Amino acid sequence: MITRFEAIEHTADKGILAYGDTPARVLESAALGMFSIMTDLELVRPRETIEVRVTAQDREALLVEWLQELLSRSQAANLLLARFRITRLEEAALEARAWGEAIDPSRHTLKVEIKAATYHRLVFAPGADGWMARVIFDV
């Protein structure tokens, strides 16, 4: 299982490109990418689990709504999440599990707060080598 992401240019905000062999892997990579903007993932222990269910209008919207749901769940519960597993995926619906722990300012690196995952320049499509996605976040 390969999960990869990288940061991309955007004037005022932050973006990522996420890659994976399958759409599910891309969704997981994108989630890792988003949380890596907020914190150093390797310092976050998988102490707690949350279950996530998302539905959307179409595949691209699903990507945004998945990230939005993770963002909003984690902020509401004051958690950082660092591991993700899609357990069920349809064109525009998914179920997943995520692992992380409560924010601990003495241990965790706290970089920047993300306001939202946006639809701006959104891509979620098959690429040369599997699937890829692009998401821009409002910081």
- The footprint of another protein on this chain (CB under 8 A) covers a number of residues equal to 35
- Residue from 42, 76, 106, 128 touching another protein (CB under 8 A): that is 76
Q: 109 φ, ψ to 5°?
A: -85, 125
> Dmax of the chain from CA atoms?
42
Planar angle of CA 63, 4, 69, nearest 5 degrees: 30
Q: Kindly tell me which of 22 and 118 has the beta carbon lying closer to another protein.
A: 118
Sheet holding 93-102, edge to edge: 48-55, 93-102, 79-90
Tokens of 26: 């891309």
Report CA torsion sign: 61, 63, 68, 73.
Answer: positive
Mask 18-57, x = binds another protein (CB under 8 A)? Answer: --------------------xx-----------------x
> How far apart are CB 25 and another protein at their closest, in Å?
24
Q: Is beta strand 48-55 parallel, antiparallel or unpaired with respect to 93-102?
A: antiparallel
> How far apart are CB 91 and another protein at their closest, in Å?
16
Mask 84-123, x = binds another protein (CB under 8 A)? Answer: -------------------x-x--xxxxxx-xx-xxx---
Q: Which residues pair with 136 in a beta bridge?
A: 15
Q: Kindly tell me which of 41 and 139 has the beta carbon lying closer to another protein.
A: 139
Interacting residues toward another protein by CB under 8 A: 7-14, 38-39, 57, 61, 65, 68, 72-73, 75-78, 103, 105, 108-113, 115-116, 118-120, 138-139
